[in-house]
Amino acid sequence: TPDKGVGKGASRVGTTMAKLGQGDERWIVSERSDGTNVHGWHWAEKDCLEWSRERLDEIFSDMTLLDEGNQWVRVEGLDACTGEAYVNMRKGKIIPGYELEVKLKWVGEIKDGDGNKVATVKGHIHVPYLADENADEDVEYKVLANFEGTAAAQERLRAAVHDKGKAQIRAGFAQFVKDMAAGGPNRDGASDKQADPAKMAAKRAAEQQKREAEDRKRKEEAAARAAEDRSGTRSLTVTETFYCSRRDMYECLTDANRIKAFTQADATFEKGPGGSFSLFGGSITGTNVELVPDEKIVQKWRFSNWTKGVFSDVTITIDERNAGSTTVKLRQTGVPEADDFGNQNVYEVTERGWRENVFRRIRMVFGFGV
């Protein structure tokens, strides 16, 4: 019955207090058997990395930056996207988070009046940092490419990406940022689901296994270094990335003519197990132990001023994870502390030689680091 007299002129429509354990269903967030996050009430996080890759590829696939009859430049699509991306939702509020490194593939061509190719290009548009904290800023990117043709023609192709294409490229990334702010894969209103506890537990277990494996690797490397210290030798590791195919890099390291080109010195290289090699006019000599075309090089390797009979072991692996982007990892063990004349800087000279006199010169001479 109505409860009258509660305050001046006030009336309360007849209601009864809920019994213990009962309540107004409109205010209860039920646990759904299908896992649906009712009205977005619960905190939910969705991994959007794979969606981000698909969306970026969708935005940039076949994006024309220049088309002027005898010359054209276009973005082919996504080449690589690494990092993390997710969307948090709570009570209908969307909170995106992402830190990504993005590489787009681009190509271009210029022809003369007779239809002959004057210049061609194939490369990457590299965005080193695309993040939610910079969502209101224009994206910064670098243009990386392998050119063939005259310098003037190359500059026109590069300018098409740097200048004429800048607005389109930035607009494409702005669209991605807008889509993330709208909920990423849920931007069209698709209902989200709470994270599967079993999947989350499996993910945490996998991450823990990864950390334990990395810890074991660090301990093993430390033990190996300690053993080397006791034996009077050291090891070095050099990792470099080049914008070329794995075949190009393998040939640079095993073809005598290419070696002569970037070293500007006499060189010989006998391919096959047991074949000898000589670099920098005989300053470096050795024997090939294993050659796996386009993938791996294993050598017995020494400087001419090392003690007679002392060789180090060199292993070079070549990995083209993304088309046109090749990573070279060099591992050299058994590097002596001193040379035959008592100089104690053998390790430093060897490491600097690989970085400056081999890999840096390959970039400069063949244009693999443009």
pLDDT band at 27 (very low <50, low <70, confident <90, very high): very low
SS (H, E, C) 135-173: CCCCCCCEEEEEEEECHHHHHHHHHHHHHHCHHHHHHHH
- Averaged pLDDT of the chain: 81
* Contact assessment for residue 97 and residue 123, using Cβ atoms and an 8 Å cutoff: no
Please give the C-alpha separations between residue 31 and each of 20, 34, 143, in angstroms, as whole numbers: 20, 9, 51
Other Cβ atoms less than 10 A from the Cβ of 268: the count is 14
Report the pLDDT value the prediction gives residue 150, as an integer from 0 to 100.
Answer: 66
Report the pLDDT value the prediction gives residue 93, as an integer from 0 to 100.
Answer: 80
CA triplet 254, 256, 259: central angle to 5 degrees?
80
Q: With 80 as the cut, is the pLDDT of residue 193 above it?
A: no
Question: Would residue 92 be called left, alpha or beta, if left means φ above 0 and alpha means ψ between -120 and 50 degrees?
Answer: left
Report the pLDDT value the prediction gives residue 13, as an integer from 0 to 100.
Answer: 42
* Higher per-residue pLDDT: 35 or 49: 49
How large is the average pLDDT for residues 82-88?
90
Most confident of 10-19, 25-34, 67-76, 290-299: 290-299
Name the amino acid, one letter, at 89: M
For residue 196, the SS3 value is coil
pLDDT band at 130 (very low <50, low <70, confident <90, very high): very high
Report the pLDDT value the prediction gives residue 159, as an integer from 0 to 100.
Answer: 79
CA distance 361 to 348: 18
How large is the average pLDDT for residues 242-252?
93
pLDDT band at 324 (very low <50, low <70, confident <90, very high): confident
pLDDT band at 15 (very low <50, low <70, confident <90, very high): very low
pLDDT band at 190 (very low <50, low <70, confident <90, very high): very low
Residues facing residue 233 across a β-bridge: 336
pLDDT, tens digit (0-9, with 9 covering 90-100), for 89-106:
776 688 888 999 999 998
Write down the residue that tokens 């698709």 correspond to.
190
pLDDT, tens digit (0-9, with 9 covering 90-100), for 285-309:
999 999 999 999 999 999 999 999 9
CA triplet 222, 226, 229: central angle to 5 degrees?
140
